[in-house]
Amino acid sequence: MVVWGLLLFLMNGCNSESKTQTGTMECAFEWSGPLYEGSNPAQELVKVDLASLLGNPVQEGMKIMKIQLKSAELSGDSASALNGIASLVLSIASDDPSLPMKELAVLNPVAAPSGQATLKPSPEAELSDFFAQKEFYLVVDAGISADRDQNLRLTGKFQWEIQYR
């Protein structure tokens, strides 16, 4: 009897296979000039909306196993919007003391002249704890090579890989 029970439990466990889906999110990052040579951060508060990210309603009992950044693109308003930017680093942070900030992706150096940059994501950063919060911060550090007076506005397009069951 115990053996049958164990077998049924194992079969049930095997049936609840995990699924992987990608979701895309866009955020705007703004820097007010003047900007000084060196690293200049811009932060954006992201309200977590898994249903919108997955493109379907979050069902009861659904368990998020793993979330990773799959791709990260930053683009400006013009083809030369990134001129004068030497490096771009994307990080994630939370007000929750138990969640330390993580670097997610980097591009160094940024090719010039350019209006768009594709950052290289770190596959080691697992983010399900951040998405379990109501909100988190995405931070972009723009490494400016020389002082500039103008404002800077970049749009971030981030693709997340979500594993759930």
Residues near another protein, by CB under 8 A: 38-39, 41, 43, 45, 86-87, 89, 91, 93-95, 97, 99-101, 103, 106, 108, 120-125, 137, 139, 141, 143
Of the pair 54, 89, the CB lying nearest another protein is at 89
Comparing CA positions, the residue from 95, 21, 94 lying closest to residue 51 is 21
Of the pair 29, 94, the CB lying nearest another protein is at 94
CB neighbours of 32 closer than 8 A, spacing ≥ 6? Answer: 151
The distance of closest approach from Cβ of residue 131 to another protein in the complex, given in angstroms and rounded to an integer, is 16
The span from the CA of 15 to the CA of 5, in Å, is 15
Of the pair 27, 99, the CB lying nearest another protein is at 99
**Tokens 């103008």 belong to residue:** 150
Of the pair 141, 164, the CB lying nearest another protein is at 141
Helix (H, G, I), strand (E, B) or coil at 42: strand
The distance of closest approach from Cβ of residue 127 to another protein in the complex, given in angstroms and rounded to an integer, is 14
Q: How many CB atoms lie within 10 A of CB 91?
A: 18
Provide the β-strand partners of residue 85.
144
The distance of closest approach from Cβ of residue 93 to another protein in the complex, given in angstroms and rounded to an integer, is 5
The distance of closest approach from Cβ of residue 22 to another protein in the complex, given in angstroms and rounded to an integer, is 19
Phi-psi region of 23 (alpha: psi -120 to 50; beta: other; left: phi over 0): beta
The distance of closest approach from Cβ of residue 30 to another protein in the complex, given in angstroms and rounded to an integer, is 15
**What six digits make up the tokens of 134?**
């109501």
Of the pair 6, 101, the CB lying nearest another protein is at 101
